[in-house]
Amino acid sequence: MDLAVRTRKWLRLGSLFLLCLALLPGLGGCQRGSKSGGQALCIAGSTSVQPFAEKLAEVYMHQHPGMRIDVQGGGSSAGIFAAQQGAANLGASSRELVAAEKNLHEISIAWDGIAVIVHPSNPLNNLSLQQLRQLFQGKITNWQALGLPPHAIDLITREEGSGTREAFEHLVMGKTLITPAALVQDSNGAVREIVAGDPYSLGYISAGLVDERVKAVAIDGVMPTRENIKNQKYKLVRRFLLVSREPPAGECKAFVDFILSPQGQGLLEAEGLVGVK
């Protein structure tokens, strides 16, 4: 074979290989799981549930080699739809089912509470839901409006796409938008770090991650304690659900049982949620 032809052939092969590498992340998901043979489960839905489902799947797959669990995002509605269509074994939802979706089997796996936090030196103890909304709408920008010594408020929010932000928007903001003047951090830990260092800041994080370096504020007079989150006295709470078309059976049931077992619930609590058991 002539050199030029051979070079061209190798080039073509090489670039094909690289192309495959580049395209791999774009594929994946459920199809890849089911094609690889063996046992495979697919969970799709809420991006708020996704990191927790990934964590659970990782531990479960470690304990059950040969078992494969694919966790996908897409949003609660997409997950519920996928479960209805049977495209996913389990749909993950961070909102309650509406009437038309009640034919699905729902399994609640955890409570997610959001705590509003300030610096420990801040005398603020209570906010109404209304005040909280006005704060994040950018209508209250000075501590003076809340009866404290005058100073600009350093507002901290989470990035778009964050589950905690999605929940906060749903529970507090309603249809209104979070002000673009708010600082944005990409994790609960980063928000907590800034609030711990800045006496004039106010932010929100998962209730399970509040520690002694920051102070949680009561909302409408209710503190975000485990009990108040569980019995939903605290306002900023939502339920994480898994839904399925049929009652879970076989491998699916085994995984759901694992989530509801003390170990699974412990994993969720360690990540900042409140267990259902």
Q: Kindly give, in sequence order, each residue whose CB lies less than 8 Å from that of residue 127, ignoring residues fewer than 6 positions away.
A: 116, 135, 146, 217, 218, 219
Helices (H) and strands (E) in the chain, counts: 10, 11
Identity of the residue, 89 or 162, whose beta carbon is nearer to another protein in the bound complex: 162
Give the amino acid at 18. Answer: L
List for the chain the helix, strand, coil content (%; round to 5): 45, 25, 30
Should residue 208 be labelled a site residue for another protein when binding is judged by CB under 8 A?
no
Q: Judging by beta carbons within 10 Å of its beta carbon (0-12, 13-18, 19+), is residue 73 exposed, middle or buried?
A: buried
Should residue 85 be labelled a site residue for another protein when binding is judged by CB under 8 A?
no
List the one residue from 24, 129, 181, 270 that touches another protein (CB under 8 A).
181
Between residue 147 and residue 176, which ones bind another protein under the rule CB under 8 A?
Answer: 152, 154, 159-163, 166
CA distance 180 to 160: 11
CA distance 54 to 186: 18
Should residue 144 be labelled a site residue for another protein when binding is judged by CB under 8 A?
no
Q: Closest separation between CB of residue 183 and another protein, Å? A: 4
Identity of the residue, 164 or 265, whose beta carbon is nearer to another protein in the bound complex: 164
Q: Closest separation between CB of residue 133 and another protein, Å? A: 17
CA distance 183 to 155: 6
Size of the site for another protein (CB under 8 A): 37
Should residue 24 be labelled a site residue for another protein when binding is judged by CB under 8 A?
no
Q: Closest separation between CB of residue 184 and another protein, Å? A: 4
Closest-CA residue to 230 (of 51, 76, 108): 108
Where does this chain touch another protein (CB under 8 A) — which range of 7-15, 28-36, 92-100, 109-117? 7-15
DSSP per residue over 138-196, as a string?
A: TS--BGGGGTS---B-EEEEEPTT-HHHHHHIIIIITTSPPPTTSEEESSHHHHHHHHH
List the one residue from 76, 201, 244, 265 that touches another protein (CB under 8 A).
201
Where does this chain touch another protein (CB under 8 A) — which range of 17-25, 94-102, 117-125, 251-259? 17-25
List the one residue from 89, 93, 122, 185 that touches another protein (CB under 8 A).
185
Residues that bind another protein (CB under 8 A): 3, 7, 10-11, 14-15, 18-19, 22, 47, 50-51, 73-75, 152, 154, 159-163, 166, 177, 180-186, 193-194, 197-198, 200-201
